[in-house]
Structures are given as structure tokens and as C-alpha cells.
Amino acid sequence: MSSPPNVLLICTDHWPARLMGEAGHPVARTPTLDTLARNGVRFTNAYSECPVCIPARRTLMTGMSTRAHGDREFKVLEPMPAFPTLAQTFRDNGYQAQAVGKLHVYPQRDRIGFDDVMLVEEGRPILGAVDDYDLWLADQGQAGLGYAHGMSNNEYTFRPWHLPESHHTTNWITRTMCRQIKRRDPTRPAFWYLSYVHPHPPLVPLQAYLDLYRDLDMDDACTGDWSGDPDSLPYLLRVIRSKWQHMPPGEIARIRRAFYALCTHIDHQMRLVVGTLREERLLDNTIIMFTSDHGDMLGDHGLWAKRVYYEASANVPMLVQGTREQAAATAGTVSDRLVGWQDVMPTLLDMAGLEVPDHVEGRSMFGSECRSHLYGECGEGPKSSRMIRQGSLKLIYYPWGHRRQLFDVDADPAEQRDLASLSAHADDLEQLTKLLVAGLYGPDLDWVVDGELVGMPDPDFAAAPNRDLSGQRGIHWPLPPRDASGDRIGMP
């Protein structure tokens, strides 16, 4: 009888699905991911149901939709739902479970079912915990200096990393995971969660990786037939665009160079983890999955970051390489199956031959039952947006102002042509709108009158100054006072 497989789940933050060589990106250098894709399955239609950090990670760890776990905003001070997590389920089945990197849960030291967590929380000691990376920096004589580079956690100014290369968060996370693999209990299978904090800003790549992209021409940001006039955009998009309206000409290319540098750095560091598995004679019996909680618009349509349902933000990488025995049947497969982050938990449990808990709403990506459509929801109030993806079509809805957009993602992957006003697509628009209405609940039902989707009045818009410098951190030694109010500590 073969031994149970090990499982390595690798997660990043802000990584768009398209940002891989194997996905056809003209610039990004991702040799490790490309190899992983060629030896496994790449799911091209994988989505973050709520493309922002905390709600997405609740979905990842519970296998539940946003409606079921109760967070479609960014509830910083709300604990993980009281259901068996992915980690706990593996442990209940005899696995050891170790996490290294970003969890983004509250309380920060909640292990959410893991035996142990080596934590990197992006400079959030005000939430009540000093993470393990900051403790290590202090041991190296660099106490509180993780953010001494001066770059903000949710902004796109950039510069090279300011400390020695070995002190970069990507290197520390990689090195710590390699050590955890070596320190495993050899009598039991393992579930490892490797959670990188980048390419989420701050954009502070190593100089060597900036140099790697120095002579490459960056791909251009795109504009659609609907996004050229900022005054005509839905309220949420005007809010997002206003934050970066003063960006200097030519800055997008430089930002993308720094962003891609962070990605390639992660890609190269992953090789150390895979190499450790191989040298420990574990690789042949290890399932590896790579994904991200959401992407980043990176200037497309004048937009940045996440919280929207365009492909650059909501379509995430999803690569699965099974054990040597499993991979023999699937190597090099490209699947257009529609999957979401709620499917990660049942997929990994299914591949490991374990029973999926009853509370899980997702389904195995390798099961016989495929979904016909996927519902997405992000935000409440005037900054709400909702999505339906079915077949090649995607409906995006902005309730405040009652704006619907319709895209054929297969024919128009950059979403440059909005089909919602075309008579040839009136039936498509109506069909997807009905699916959207069927998914609404709670206060969203106010958007429907007599069965018809009517939305809410378009609110007045006024650009606000960036008074808080978009999540700028300080010198964290001595520690700043704890803030339990939640009002000023969102910092996604």
C-alpha cells in the first residue's frame, strides 16, 4: 500500500493569472512556474470570488463562499469561521500541518488548525502580535527596520530592497519553509502552506531582479472602449482611478518592471523549496499547487490593485502538479474548467484521498461535476461590485449607478470591448443578469424591484487626498501602541 501523499500549497498575493511565461505573457520571466505547468494542470479560468486578501483567505481555508463565511469586505478583526479549516482537516486525518508566511487572520497568532505557523504579517504589530520575521530581524540587529525602505504597503512607488538580500521577506519565507520540511516528523505525511507576501506592494525588489528586467520592453497598459473617459466610469472605478491620477508619464512601465522583478524573485526562490523536497526524497509523493488570492490591475484601464472583477484582478493562477503517479496522466494539461478559490480545499483533500467535510461548498477541480457559472461579490455600499462568469462571458455589475458591463473573455481577454449595449448580446445580458439576481441576498435585495434589477442612484463623486499615504508603515521599534478599534488598521 502506497503512503499518503504530502501536500505543498504555495500562495502569493497580487499575482495575475496572465503573469506567467506559460500563459503567454510577453515579458514576465517565470521558469519555475512554467515547468510546474508543463508537469501538471494549468486552470485558465480560476477566479478569486472576492478579490481582496482577507475574504479570499477565508474562502481558501474553509472551502466556503463569501456568503457562507460572512466576509465580502475586509473584516480585519473578525476571526476565521468556526468550521474545520483545510489545515485542521489534514491534521484530523493524521497529517502534520505547517504554515510559513502570511495568514492574514485575527487574532494574528490564531493557527487556524496548523500545528505551527512562522508568521510574516506585513508590519501589523498594532493588531497585537510581533510576527516571526520581525523577531528574526531583531535577532539580526535590524529591529523594526522591515519597512525602513519607506515604501507603502498599498502604493506603487518603488525602490530596491534596503537590507541584505538574505533579509528580504521572500528569502526568509523560503528559507524557513525549507527548514520546516527538513524538520518534519518522518512517520507522518505533511501539509505545508507556503504563503509569500509579494508581489503585493511595497514594491521593493532586489536590485538583481530589477537589473534582470532593465533591458526588456514592458508590455503596455490597455484601455477599452468604455474606460477612456474617467468621468463616465462607475463610481467605484472613479474612486480607484482618483488615487493614482497624479502618476507621472511613463511610470506604469517602471512600476511593472519592479512588480515583475518581485514575481521572478519568488519564482526562483520556489526552486529551493522544490529542491529541498527532491533532496529529502519527498518530491515524487508530493502534490504541489500554486495560486494567488487575487491579481493586480497594474494600470490597465487606469486602475490599480484589486477589488474589481476584470481579469487582471480576479483571474488568478491555478497550477496543480500531482504526485509522480498522478502527474503521469495529466502532465501539460491546460483546462478551461471554471474554478474558484472555494475549490482549493476539496481539490487537495480529494487528491490526497481524504473525505471532504460537509460544510465545504467548493468542488474538486478533478471531479466529474463542473459548475455552469461562478458568482463573485466584493464590497458593500457604493463601492460594491458583483460578477457572473459563465462560458466565455462575464457580467460585471456596479449597483450604485446601475452599470452593467458584458465581456467575451475568450475573444477579448483584455476586456476592451463592453458588449452590454449591443443588441446582438441582449439575450446574453439578460441571462447573466438573471443569474446575478438569483445570487443576491441581504441588503443587495434592495437593488431589485418587482423582480427587475434597478440598482441604486449614482452617488456624488469627489476625489479625496491620500492623507494616510496608502498604508505607509513606520519604524516598529519600540512597538507602536495596539489599536483594537479596527478603524485605522485595515491596511490590506
Instruction: Convert the pLDDT of each residue in 310-340 to its tens digit.
Output: 999 999 999 999 999 987 778 999 999 999 9
Query: pLDDT by residue (tens digit) across 263-303?
Result: 999 999 999 999 999 999 999 999 999 999 999 999 999 99
Query: pLDDT by residue (tens digit) across 422-442?
Result: 999 999 999 999 999 999 999
Domains delineated in the chain:
6-372 (3.40.720.10)
- Which grid cell is 84? 474545520
pLDDT of 127 strictly over 60: yes
When pLDDT is cut at 50, 70 and 90, the band that residue 240 belongs to is: very high
Residue 466 pLDDT:
79
Separation CA 69–CA 64 (nearest Å): 6
Separation CA 173–CA 119 (nearest Å): 9
Query: pLDDT by residue (tens digit) across 362-388?
Result: 999 999 999 999 999 999 999 999 999
> What φ, ψ does residue 89 adopt, rounded to 5°?
-65, -40
When pLDDT is cut at 50, 70 and 90, the band that residue 47 belongs to is: very high
Q: Is residue 6 packed enough to be buried (19+ CB in 10 Å), middle (13-18) or exposed (0-12)?
A: buried
Q: What is the pTM of this model?
A: 0.97
Separation CA 237–CA 463 (nearest Å): 12
Give the orientation angle of helix 53-62 with respect to helix 344-351, to 10 degrees.
30
Residue 445 pLDDT:
98
Separation CA 416–CA 422 (nearest Å): 14
Instruction: Order the strands of the 373-378 sheet from edge to edge.
Output: 373-378, 385-390, 393-398, 403-408
